[in-house]
Structure formats: structure tokens, C-alpha cells
Amino acid sequence: MPGGGLYVLVAYGAQNVLLSGNPDFTFFYKTYKKYSHFAEESVTQPLEGPQELFTDQPITLRYKIQRVADLVRDMYLVITLPDIYNKYIDLQDPSQNPYGRETQTEFQWTRCIGCHLIRRVGVYIGGQKIQEFDGQYITVKAQADLDANSYQKWQTLVGDIPELYDPGSVTTNGGYPIVYPDPSNGNLNAPSIKGRDLAIPLPFWFEESTFEALPLLSLQYQECEIQVDLAPIQELYRIRDLSGNYVNPLYLQTTLNATQPINVAYIQSPELTYANIGPFLTDVGTPPPLIPTWEINPRIMATYVYLTDEERQMFASTPLQYLVRQVTRYDFTIVSRDFAEIRTHNPINRMFILPTRTDALNRNDVINWSNWPFYPAAPYLAPITPAPFPNATGQLIQAGQMLILNTLTVFGDGNQLQEEKPVQYYSEVVPWKYLAGLPDPNIIVYPFGLHSPNQQPDGSLNSSRVRLFQVDLNPNPLLPFTNYGINVAIYVENLNWVVVNAGMGGLKYAL
């Protein structure tokens, strides 16, 4: 019979006084805080500079932030990818296949194409660089700071979707969508990869929170500018070489030793037809463009905020201070254990340490931080004695481990900041304990704070008080006659402040 819930209500003792005596709130009614009135508008405007990418040279673009409204709270780089026509090659016809190609070319864009396109992007106030980073940092930060749902949405924005990097996996027939001559239809063929616009979120400090929005109305006497360097076309896509291996279009993969699948080699490809993107930009029967490129239509899409007159007055008359995470990249090349010296200042909040094989550039393998040349596929060497089933583990492969680095230690003035740890600690324990996201298992994250991401500072190392700051990089041994070395990129996030006062703004401390 109803009413049994009253028993729980009257079972009240001394412990309940600690839980609900003199309560501060109720679960069954809520009052709302009033907020200052505002309005938002998304505005898209073009960047100044070349409107087309070059085959082998980067381009630089600029955008002067327009004073459309009072604040800017986020920003996207928008670019256009073209339709791609991967035309059929008759492999038996020497006129179409003079070099003995064994497969079709099967064009694909690189992973995270929108991020990889960005060589450098920075925001400037009054000509002073406030914050700058590259596309690889954008990728790694997204993996570390975004939860699974947010990261999936982010992948769509930056073009990290199978339709672009693996079109054969999303077709109805399960194969790569080859464009075949169809003269009866006037060769009006669907493209292998449909063009699309990408909107790459730029994680500047004013995008992190509404409380950090860029106060244009408080910077009356200074211009704010975005500068972007974009990568050349030949770094943005991959094709199959003569033997069917995915490579940078300039290279051909060879084998140094059949018993060492971890150790691959590359030479310049003799097949110059596909050394530029031109043949992939037009349908069958249409000659490629004279200049092998396309209009990327680069523009900045920003969210502007309009404030009331009262709040505008407050912003214009009050000194403001914003926390900025400045990013500096340090590059090292190693073949054995080595100390990487980091010359930096100001409090360090976090470091990303990204090891890569030096031959990854030959494959345009842009998000492979593992020792496996074709990650996530592990290298395989068939058993000498044939197995009666296809899934035998195969032979043990020398230097065939997934991780490039074995252990890692950080030193300040010769003092070990933490005991030497295997890199699995930084790729498995650290994400569980400190991060909102789940980064690739080959990404090493070294935190000095308690949580990430967090607009509230919660820990750092003041490197201004450290004369010698070093990272001890201990890689797994390479083969004696290896054909590659190890590149290590270390991204250091330093805490600094942007001070805005009297219509001008700048950094509080030099980097």
C-alpha cells in the first residue's frame, strides 16, 4: 500500500544531521541567476594572400580581425577541398602504365587534413605575437582535452573522416571508388572523393571559455591580426606506389631486408605523372589544369559578441587580464639515449612529447607516433614452416615493438623531477588521472597541473627559476643497419598573461 516512503523520511538520526541538517539547497526547486544581456553573430571573412596552394612551397595568409562587434569568442579557419577523380589505369596498356604499376593509384587525403594543412597559425596584438602553434599541436591537444563525443565532432570539422582518408571503406561495393571512362554518359562521372569545406577550430586562449573572449572594444588603439602558414600540396595526400604501398607521391617504397619488415626504405619515384595533384582534379576526358592546384577559398569564421552599453562601458574602463597558454615547439633527432635541453621561461603547465620515425615523411603518415611503419597494423613476418591456417602469429621481429621511446625522465638543474618511468605511464596512467580525453597510446603527456583542460591554473613548474631544464629521451634500440632515425617534437605549454588597459594590450612576461 502507498506511503512506505514515509518510513525513510522518519528514520532520521544523528548521521542525518551531518547530511541534511540546516540544508543549503533543495533538489526539488531551483532559482536562476540573472545574466547580462548579449547577442552573438557568426561572421565569415576572407584572408589576404594567395588563394591557391603551391605544390612544393608553403603560403602565408593574413587576416586583420574586423571590429564587427565587441568581443570575439571563437575562431575557425575555413578552407575548401576539391573533388578528386582517381581515374582508371589499364595496367596492361604500356601507354597508360609505362613503369609497370601493379595497382591503381587510390588517392587519399592525409589524416586530420585540416590540421596537417596548418604549418603555423598565430594571433598578434599590436604586432606582438601572443600565441602561436602548428597543426600537429592542434591534433594532439584535441585528443588530450576532448571527451569521446566532442572529439568525434571535432574530427568531422577537420576532415579526419573515412570519406577523405580511406574512401574505399565507405563505398557500397567495399572497394576504392575508381572513376571509369563512361563515354555514353559524356563522362559525367561522380568523383572518387567529394570536395567539401573544412572548418578547423583554432584553439586560441579566447576559444577556451566565454570568460576569455577577446575584448576588441578594449583594444581601441591596436589592431589584432591572425597569420597562417599553409603546407604545400605534396604533403597533404598519399597514393599507392608502383608496388601498391601508400606513400608521399614523390617516393617509391623498397625493401632493404625481407627478414626485417620494420626497416623499410624509399627512393624517388620514376613515375612523375602523379608527382603533383593535377591528374586528380579533373574527370575523364578533361585535361588537368595548367597549374596543378585549386582555389582553397581561405577565410576566417569568427563568433562575435554584442554587449549592452553598460557592459561596454565596464570593458572599456576596467583593466583586464587573461591567462594564455603559450606553446613552443622544440625539435630533436636522436638514434640512442640523449638529453633534450629545453630553453624556456615562465610557468610550465604541460608538455607533449611526440616521437616519430624519420621516414614517416616519405609516407605522409602524419599522425603515426609509433615505431610501426604502417600503424595500426603491426609488422608481420610469415612463419618459415607454413601454417595450416592464415592467422599464425609469425616470426618474432627484431625491434618490432610499437613504442619508439622506452623510458622518460625530466631534470631541472640536474635534479630528477620524478623517478624514471616507462612511457606507458605517460600514455596510460596520465590520461586516466589527469586528462579529459584519451590520446593515441604513442603520445606522451607530462603534466605539472592536476587537471587538463582547466581554465583555473592548478599546478605548474616555474621554469624561470630553472637554469638547465632537460628531458632524458631513452628510445628502444634500433636495428644495427636501420634505415631511419627518430625525430622528437616537444611542445611546452607556458602560462602567461595578456594585460589589456587604456586601449592597448600585450604580454605581461616575455617568453
Amino acid code (one letter) for 460: S
Task: Name residue 40's amino acid.
Answer: E
φ/ψ region of 491 (left if φ > 0, alpha if ψ in -120 to 50, else beta) reads beta
SS (H, E, C) 184-196: HHCCCCCCCECCE
Cα-based distances in Å from 460 to 3, 203, 429, 456: 55, 20, 19, 12
Residue 13 counted as domain residue? no
Residue 304 CB contacts under 8 Å (≥ 6 apart), including other chains: 40, 41, 42, 43, 68, 69, 70, 71, 72, 73
- Domain total for the chain? 1
Cα dihedral 406, 412, 413, 419 in deg (nearest 10): -50
Q: How many CA atoms lie within 13 A of 120 on its CB side?
A: 16
Residue 74 corresponds to which cell in the numbers above?
571563437
Dihedral class, residue 27 (left if φ above 0, else alpha if ψ from -120 to 50, else beta): alpha
Separation between Cα atoms, residue 53 and residue 485, nearest integer Å: 30
Which of 134, 141, 300, 318 lies closest to 224, judged by CA?
Answer: 300
- What is the number of other CB atoms lying within 10 angstroms of the CB of residue 20? 10
Integer angstrom CA distances of residue 134 from 4, 114, 489: 63, 11, 12
Has residue 323 been placed in a domain?
Answer: yes
Q: Which neighbouring-strand residues pair with 331?
A: 489
Cβ proximity of 302 and 42 under 8 Å: yes
Residues with Cβ within 8 Å of residue 367, at least 6 apart in sequence: 111, 112, 139, 440
For residue 360, the enclosing domain spans: 35-379+399-507
Q: What does DSSP say about strands 246-247 and 237-240: parallel, antiparallel, or unpaired?
A: antiparallel
Q: How far, in Å, CA of 304 to CA of 301, rounded? A: 10
Report the CATH number at residue 317.
Answer: 2.70.9.10
**pLDDT lower than 70: segments of the chain:** 1, 256
Label residues 316-353 b or e (16+ Cβ within 10 Å = b).
eeeeeebbbbbbbbbebebeeebebebebbbbbbbbbb
CB atoms within 10 A of CB 68: 14
User: In angstroms, how far is CA 266 from the centroid of its own chain?
Assistant: 26
DSSP 134-170: -HHHHHHHHHHHS-HHHHHHHHHHHT-SHHHH-GGGS
Q: Let me know if residue 388 belongs to a domain.
A: no
On whether residue 69 sits in a domain, the answer given is yes
The predicted pLDDT at position 1 comes to 64
Q: Is the peptide bond before 23 cis (omega within 30 degrees of 0)?
A: no
Alpha helices in 73-147 (DSSP H): 113-116, 135-145
β strands within 151-281, DSSP E = 196-201, 214-215, 224-230, 237-240, 246-247, 251-255, 264-268
Q: Is residue 356 in a domain?
A: yes
Strand partners, 495: 325
Q: What is d(CA 191, CA 82) in angstroms, rounded to the nearest whole number?
A: 10
Neighbour tally for 184: CB within 10 Å? 6
Tell me what pLDDT residue 200 has. 98
Residue with cell 621481429: 397
Residues contacting 20, CB < 8 A, separation 6+: none
> Sign of torsion, CA 399 402 404 408?
negative
Partnered with residue 252 across adjacent β-strands are 267
Convert the pLDDT of each residue in 376-429 to its tens digit. 999 888 888 888 888 888 888 888 899 999 999 999 999 999 999 999 999 999
Cβ neighbors of 453 (< 8 A, separation 6 or more) are 145, 208, 436
Does a structural domain hold residue 25?
no
Residue entry with cell 624517388: 268
d(CA 459, CA 449) in angstroms, rounded, equals 4
Confidence (pLDDT) at 176:
95
CB 334 within 8 A of CB 488: yes
Q: Is residue 17 a part of any domain in this protein? A: no
Q: Flag whether 227 is in a domain.
A: yes
